[in-house]
Amino acid sequence: MSIRKEDLVVVITGKDKAKTGKVLRVFPQSGRAIVEGLHLVKRHMRRRAQDEPGGIVEKESPMHISNILLFCRRCNVGSRIGKKEIKGGERVRFCRRCGEVIGK
Ligand SMILES: [Zn+2]
């Protein structure tokens, strides 16, 4: 998985194309991620209390990571990510476009 929690990503396809958001959760087994405020689906909520508003609530649903790219702040676009080893054997991710190290 090249996408991690807390990453800033950009959507490259679908109705949220070109929108950016923060990754809230990743599902490595299904190759999906939940991105804050994106890929919303309407859910019908049952009212639990008399004074609580029920009805339709929009909630993020997981999207496949092939539909998102990590956002490079230096390039100001979504970019493909490479992995490399730096001094000390630590592996980091970097932007293939500008070479900027993005983090672990
Ligand atoms: Zn870059």
Domain-by-domain residue ranges, the chain? 8-79
In angstroms, what is the span from residue 76 Cα to ligand 1's centroid?
7
In angstroms, what is the span from residue 62 Cα to ligand 1's centroid?
25
Q: Which of 25-29, 35-39, 52-56 has the lowest mean pLDDT?
A: 52-56
For residues 36 and 46, which has the higher predicted lDDT (pLDDT)? 36
Given a cut of 90, is residue 83 above it in pLDDT? yes
Tell which CATH classification among 2.30.30.30, 3.40.50.300, 1.10.260.40, 2.130.10.10 matches the domain 8-79.
2.30.30.30
How high is the pLDDT of residue 49? 75
Burial (CB count <10 Å: 0-12, 13-18, 19+), residue 99:
exposed
How high is the pLDDT of residue 69? 95
Other beta carbons within 10 Å of 18? 10
Q: What string of DSSP letters covers 61-95?
A: --EEGGGEEEEETTTTEEE-EEEEE-GGG-EEEEE
pTM, entire model:
0.83
